[in-house]
Amino acid sequence: MWNSRFRTNARIRRIAGHLLIAIIFAGIVGAKSSSAGTIADVLNQQPAFSDFVCLLKSQGLDAELGGTEHFTIFAPINAAFDNIPPEVLQASSGEGVMIIERQAVRGLIVSSRWGPQDLAGKKTILKAMNGQNIGIDGTGGRLAVGDAEVLSVDVTPSNGVIYVIDTLTLAPY
C-alpha cells in the first residue's frame, strides 16, 4: 500500500512539475513575443546585426520591415560581412555598390511569413523580393539557406520571422 501511494504521489509531483515548466515557458515566450516589436525593431536592438541594419536603411527597407506586412528575413550577422571576398568589394564602386547592395539585401527577404515548422524536414524554394529563388534545406536535423547555416530563429517579431545566418550569400539559387 505504501509503495503504490508513493508511486501515485511521485506521478502527481512529476505532472505538477511538467505543468509548472509549461506555465513558466509560456509566460516567458508570451512576454517576449508581446514586447519584441516588428522585425525592424528586433534587428535594431541587436548589435550583431548592425551591418545588415545599415544595408536595410540604405535601401529604405527599415520602414517597410517596421510595418504590418509579414516577412521572412535571413539576417546575416556582422561576421558574415567579413567573409565577402576582397575582389568583390574592390570591383564594385559607386553605383555598382548600390546595385549589389539592393540585390543582396532584397535577396535575403521573402514577402511572407515562413516559420520553422513550415521549413523543417524538407527542401523548399522561396521567392525573394529581388525575384531570385532561395533554396532552403530543412532535412537532416539542420536548416540551411543556400550556403549559409541558420544559427538561430526568432519568431517573436509581430510581423514575421528572423533566421540568423552565418554567411552572406550573393549567388542566386
pLDDT for position 135: 93
Q: Does residue 44 have a pLDDT over 50?
A: yes
pLDDT for position 13: 47
Domain 37-165 sits in which CATH superfamily? FAS1 domain (2.30.180.10)
Rounded percentage of the chain residues whose pLDDT exceeds 70: 66
| Cα 27 from Cα 31, distance rounded (Å) | 6
Least confident of 83-92, 122-131, 138-147: 83-92
Q: How confident is the model at residue 80 (pLDDT cuts 50, 70, 90)?
A: confident
Q: Does residue 7 have a pLDDT over 80?
A: no
Q: Does residue 30 have a pLDDT over 50?
A: no
Rounded percentage of the chain residues whose pLDDT exceeds 90: 49
pLDDT for position 2: 46
Mean pLDDT, rounded, for 103-123 = 92
